[in-house]
């Protein structure tokens, strides 16, 4: 699909998403940029709903980066255990808290270049924090929902999240980038699900080519192995 056609497709997608979600918002509960950063790190390989059950106690014990920088590894692991991968998450959050205090005077930085220097913070998390915490559209956060829906709608053929982000930034207006992420996440959970997409109720069914993202080699090999053992 040419860039011109992808932009026309993106305009249809944006219209449909905006009609369904006129006031999109994050699924994560937070009150400031630091809480959003922590919640987004915890949300890796975990549902936002589960993260929201953990963060109230976390922020009660350690309200900000200064307090979390002094937290014990085992105590923090115990609190965030339900989110999974708790050892690495606790290690990264403590290190990020120390860096925020030491390098940024206790304030979450408001630039992509600075955010990605924090342990556990890659480009996707940085984009989420910039938009949700500061109202800055520096990039377009690409998670599994955004990647899947973008492929199905023909907005990108890329597999690398950075390349997907670049493709989407080229077709959506900059002022919409943060809301596009929120709307696609909502839509991915409610309608365009991974295994059971609700094409029969999809407002974009008339112009969706229903393309499937290419599967990486490792996933294909695992699938083939399961098939060889007679497992579904």
Catalytic residues: 124, 143
Alpha-carbon separation of residue 94 from 20, 32, 109, 119, 133 (angstroms)? 39, 18, 16, 9, 20
Sequence-ordered alpha helix ranges (H) in 47-173? 48-61, 65-69, 73-80, 86-103, 112-115, 123-134, 144-152, 161-169
Element (H, E) at 178: helix 177-190
Element (H, E) at 187: helix 177-190
Instruction: Write out 9-47 in H/E/C secondary structure.
Output: HHHHHHHHHHHHCCCCCCCCCCCCHHHHHHHHHHCCCCC
């Amino acid at each position: 699909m040419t860039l011109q056609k992808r932009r026309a497709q993106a305009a249809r997608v944006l219209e449909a998403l905006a009609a369904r979600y006129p006031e999109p918002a994050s699924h994560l509960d937070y009150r400031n940029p630091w809480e959003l950063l922590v919640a987004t790190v915890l949300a890796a390989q975990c549902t936002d709903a589960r993260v929201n059950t953990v963060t109230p106690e976390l922020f009660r014990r350690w309200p900000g980066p200064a307090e979390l920088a002094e937290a014990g590894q085992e105590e923090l692991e115990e609190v965030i255990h339900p989110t999974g991968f708790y050892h690495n998450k606790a290690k990264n959050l403590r290190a990020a808290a120390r860096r925020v205090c030491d390098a940024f005077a206790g304030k979450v930085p408001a630039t992509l270049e600075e955010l990605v220097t924090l342990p556990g913070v890659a480009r996707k998390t940085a984009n989420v924090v910039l938009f949700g915490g500061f109202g800055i559209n520096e990039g377009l956060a690409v998670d599994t929902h955004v990647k899947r829906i973008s492929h199905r709608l023909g907005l990108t053929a890329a597999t690398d999240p950075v390349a997907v982000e670049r493709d989407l930034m080229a077709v959506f207006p900059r002022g919409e980038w943060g809301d596009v992420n929120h709307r696609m996440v909502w839509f991915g959970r409610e309608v365009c699900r991974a295994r059971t997409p609700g094409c029969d109720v999809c407002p974009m069914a008339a112009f969706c080519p229903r393309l499937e993202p290419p599967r990486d080699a490792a996933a294909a090999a695992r699938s083939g192995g399961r098939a060889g053992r007679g497992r579904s």
